[in-house]
Amino acid sequence: MRDAPAAATPPSPRAVHALAAPYLLFLGDATERGFAKTALGLRDWAGDRCLAEHALPAATVSTGLPRMTPAEAAAAGARSMVIGVANQGGVIPASWMPELIAAAEAGLDLVAGLHMRLGDIPALREAAARAGTRLVDVREPPPALPIATGAKRAGRRLLTVGTDCALGKKYTALAIARGLQARGQDATFRASGQTGIMIAGEGIAIDAVVADFAAGAAELLSPAGSPTHLDVIEGQGSLFHPSYAAVSLALLHGSQPDLFVVCHQPMRAQILGTPGYLVPSIEAVIEQTIAVGRLTNHAIRCAGVSLNTAGMVEEEAEAAIARTAARLGLPAADPIRGGPPFERLLDACAA
């Protein structure tokens, strides 16, 4: 009888992508801020690496950074042009190609986190080869990912979940991780999407993983840790989104969170990009997350609510936060506004 093969060494969750900064953020023809979340996230959480923005004439979204052409940005010291748009399907339309080629020819690396790979486009490969620049596809998961085991592992985990996509799960996870770190607590932000990976420098783009291995990738993303360590895991999609619920479920099962924070935008009524589907209530998301999350962590519970109050004046935001906390009996806060409500949410996450 042959000896059983030795167990394979699991791949590292640290799919590190060394990006050359500073960046020129490319907004394409974006007219919806939700689809420009990569550019906006880099501006907000890695602003020291962002030099300027570039967009097509049809774009109406802006990061507020100076507008420059690729040649102007290169002359000003930019080293990469990052595609800051996460459109539906993750595609690179033909209308973008002249700008991407111009950036490569100006000496800028091209960086993308889309499903369509830069390296699969012959015209971009040729332009980069001529200029000696790089094509960096961040949405490339590590090889040999394992299938999930469902086995309990040491350490504590918090997952951000949403009533919809593109409403603050990444911002909430970053704010909670940094808020706890500022208190001297042992917490780590775990990136599960392209923008988070660009900010953190490591992570796994869960929605780029073959379905059978997605929960296993989530297990790998948040490995065993000390009892006092908290992994704060960036959520993806929504269990109520007709297009993206599958990746949300895989991340929930694989991360086995002890705690979750529901992210919600009070002024949003319709699920993004899917007419006819209404945003569910926070209560429905809490109920559904606990129901399906109990498969891999029976003790899962909601720590609180993160409200995206962008577009509200201060008084409206404060009232919405107070109403939500009173209705649910849970801490509620806008992490970007901060203040005592966010400190109470941090207290709940640390408990």
Q: What CATH number is associated with residue 344?
A: 3.40.50.300
Domain boundary residue, one of 79, 103, 137: 137
Which residues, in sequence order, are bridge partners of residue 159?
Answer: 233, 260
Domain boundary residue, one of 137, 166, 194: 137
pLDDT at residue 261 greater than cutoff 50: yes
In a domain, 147, yes or no: no
Same domain, 217 and 295: yes
Same domain, 255 and 307: yes
Range of the domain at 302: 156-350
Residues 118-121: contacts with CB within 8 Å, 24+ apart? 118/92, 121/92, 121/97
For residues 65 and 259, what is the distance between their CA atoms, to the nearest angstrom?
Answer: 36
Query: 284-310: per-residue pLDDT in tens?
Result: 999 999 999 999 999 999 999 999 999
Q: What is the mean pLDDT of residues 183-198?
A: 94
Q: What is the mean pLDDT of residues 316-340?
A: 98
Query: 219-247: per-residue pLDDT in tens?
Result: 999 999 999 999 999 999 999 999 999 99
Same domain, 94 and 127: yes
- What length does the chain have? 351
pLDDT at position 18: 75
For residues 84 and 87, what is the distance between their CA atoms, to the nearest angstrom?
Answer: 10
pLDDT at position 90: 85
Same domain, 98 and 164: no
User: Sorting pLDDT into bands at 50, 70 and 90, what band is 5?
Assistant: very low
pLDDT at position 273: 85
In a domain, 151, yes or no: no
pLDDT at position 49: 94
Cα dihedral 253, 259, 263, 266 sign: positive
Same domain, 117 and 185: no
Same domain, 160 and 68: no
In a domain, 142, yes or no: no
Hey, what amino acid is at 234?
E
Same domain, 160 and 204: yes
Number of domain units in the chain: 2
In a domain, 113, yes or no: yes
Q: What is the mean pLDDT of residues 136-149?
A: 91
Same domain, 176 and 56: no
Q: Is 243 left (phi over 0), alpha (psi -120 to 50) or beta?
A: alpha
Q: What is the mean pLDDT of residues 160-177?
A: 96
Same domain, 131 and 244: no
Query: 205-219: per-residue pLDDT in tens?
Result: 999 999 999 999 999
CATH code for the domain of 71: 3.40.50.720
Sheet bearing 23-26, strands edge to edge: 50-54, 23-26, 80-83, 109-112, 135-137
Same domain, 65 and 210: no
Mean model confidence pLDDT for the chain: 93
In a domain, 315, yes or no: yes
Q: If you compute the radius of gyration of the chain from its CA atoms, what whole number of angstroms results? A: 20
The number of angstroms, rounded, from the C-alpha of 132 to the middle of its chain's C-alpha atoms is: 30
pLDDT at position 11: 47
Tokens for 13?
């969750």
pLDDT at position 35: 87
Percent of the chain with pLDDT over 90: 86
Q: Is the peptide bond before 122 cis (omega within 30 degrees of 0)?
A: no
Same domain, 320 and 172: yes
Domain boundary residue, one of 107, 137, 167: 137
User: Sorting pLDDT into bands at 50, 70 and 90, what band is 15?
Assistant: low
For residues 19 and 146, the answer to whether their CB atoms sit within 8 Å is: no
What are the backbone angles phi and psi of residue 43, rounded to the nearest 5°? -60, -45
Tokens for 69?
């052409």
Same domain, 133 and 265: no
User: Sorting pLDDT into bands at 50, 70 and 90, what band is 14?
Assistant: low
